[in-house]
Amino acid sequence: MRFTVPQFIEREAKIIGPLTFKQFLYIGSAGLACFMIYFSFSFDIFLMSCFFLGGIAVAFAFLEIDGAPLQKFLWNFFKYNLSPKIYLWKNGGMEKANIQGKIQIQETKTEGDNLSIGGKSSLKNIKTKIEIETK
């Protein structure tokens, strides 16, 4: 009996309780910063900074936007906004000698070829003929 094996499963292992190692680092670093702020500043500053740092840590640990973690989303956001938006075509990979060789090959004629390249455009004459015929 054959069994299908699931592929492309990318899940981080839950190392510390229900948290992955990255999630634990985000929450733990915010907790450590709050612990140091508690002994360094007044209680009001401690509460405000803990709510702020805790919110940021929880967002980085658990928030996903369109299936991507918040840190990847922010990285792509800043990368896009700071990169230039003008896209120019860059000719690369062909040497000048090769281009001249291709032009020479295209301009050579065979003996039975009656086509020739005209020097001037005949659109002015055609316009005059059309105006005369329509009057």
Q: What confidence tens digit (pLDDT) does each residue in 65-80 have?
A: 988 899 999 999 999 9
pLDDT at 31: 96
121 occurs within a structural domain: no
Whether residue 116 lies inside any domain: the answer is no
Residues of the domain holding 33: 21-82
Low-confidence ranges of the chain (pLDDT < 50): 97-98, 100-107
Report the pLDDT value the prediction gives residue 7, as an integer from 0 to 100: 80
Residue 56 inside a domain? The answer is: yes
Residue 91 lies inside a defined structural domain of this protein? no
Count Cβ atoms below 10 Å from residue 78 Cβ, excluding itself.
Answer: 10
Q: What is the pLDDT of residue 117?
A: 63
CA dist 53 and 10 (Å) reads 29
Query: Does some domain include residue 62?
Result: yes
- Whether residue 125 is contained in a domain is answered as no
Q: Per the domain annotation, does 129 fall within a domain?
A: no
CA nearest neighbour of 15 among 28, 5, 6: 28
Specify the pLDDT at position 13.
81
- Per the structure, how many domains does the chain have? 1
Q: What is the pLDDT of residue 47?
A: 96
Q: Is position 105 within any domain?
A: no
CA distance 17 to 37: 26
Q: pTM for the full model?
A: 0.55
